[in-house]
């Protein structure tokens, strides 16, 4: 990990992180891995906003699946969606040909980042032990939130008269945007007093598929994707 990233521009930050992966024996060829990272950035920036970026590549130069955490105390102009400086980086390196279990596990990171205090805790860390502690707390909070969400969903399904909105989220690699969009939609639904049920189409395939009953009951459909998904089942819905 890098707790004091020195770069202040996007490409320099990428170079600094890749050099760390090379130095630690995770990446065998700087140029090959960087070409994969930059090709992904050319599709759309992995600067997610809120000071967070998740550059990633599934690449022949990677020896083992790794997430490099880096923190910038200065802030980096990373061409993020919100135009604000980025200070938390998670560079994801996955071997070419690796199965999607790795990507599904890495996608959990996105759920941590949607927690109210997780990113702020990481911004305050000054040691590796503090980074580990932040993740331990995040894991505990995620487990508690999931249990509470399941219990609430069962309760609302049985008695709720709130409108139901169904949604599908997906991105080209299915690592970050898919799951962060899911969390954002659910939170927005809670604020608007509507139930939002999301089908994710991520790295490991379709998660929590929408049922025919849910589609029939829904008063609206949201498609938040940047890749093709099956939509014929929603014909007749708004």
Positions marked catalytic: 56, 171
Q: Whole-angstrom Cα distance, residue 53 to residue 48?
A: 5
Decide: 194 and 163 in contact? Cβ < 8 Å: yes
Which of 15, 4, 11, 9 lies closest to 88, judged by CA?
4
Q: Whole-angstrom Cα distance, residue 138 to residue 116?
A: 10
* Residue 24 vs residues 17, 19, 124: alpha-carbon distances, Å: 11, 9, 25
- What's the burial of 238, exposed, middle or buried (CB within 10 Å: 0-12/13-18/19+)? exposed
| Number of other CB atoms surrounding residue 54 within 10 Å | 22
Which of 6, 126, 2 lies closest to 76, judged by CA?
6
Tell me the sheet residues that pair with 197: 166
Q: Which residues of 113-138 are buried (b: 16+ CB within 10 A; e: fewer)?
A: bbbeebbebbeebeeeeebeebbeeb
């Amino acid at each position: 990990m890098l707790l004091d990233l020195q770069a202040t521009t996007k490409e320099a930050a990428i170079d600094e992180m890749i050099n760390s992966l090379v130095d630690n024996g995770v990446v065998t060829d700087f140029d090959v891995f960087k070409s994969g990272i930059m090709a992904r950035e050319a599709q759309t920036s992995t600067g997610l906003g809120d000071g967070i970026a998740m550059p990633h590549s599934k690449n022949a130069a990677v020896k083992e699946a790794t997430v490099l955490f880096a923190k910038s105390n200065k802030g980096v102009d990373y061409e993020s969606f919100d135009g604000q400086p980025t200070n938390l980086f998670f560079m994801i390196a996955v071997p070419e040909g690796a199965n999607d279990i790795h990507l599904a596990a890495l996608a959990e990171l996105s759920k941590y980042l949607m927690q109210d205090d997780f990113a702020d805790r990481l911004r305050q860390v000054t040691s590796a032990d503090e980074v580990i502690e932040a993740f331990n707390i995040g894991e505990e909070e995620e487990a508690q939130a999931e249990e509470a969400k399941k219990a609430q969903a069962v309760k609302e399904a049985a008695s709720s008269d709130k409108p139901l909105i169904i949604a599908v989220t997906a991105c080209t690699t299915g690592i970050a945007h898919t799951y962060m969009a899911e969390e954002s939609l659910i939170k927005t639904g809670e604020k608007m007093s509507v139930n939002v049920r999301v089908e994710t189409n991520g790295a490991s395939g379709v998660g929590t598929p929408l049922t025919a009953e849910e589609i029939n009951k829904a008063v609206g459909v949201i498609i938040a994707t940047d890749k093709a998904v099956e939509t014929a089942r929603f014909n007749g819905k708004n």
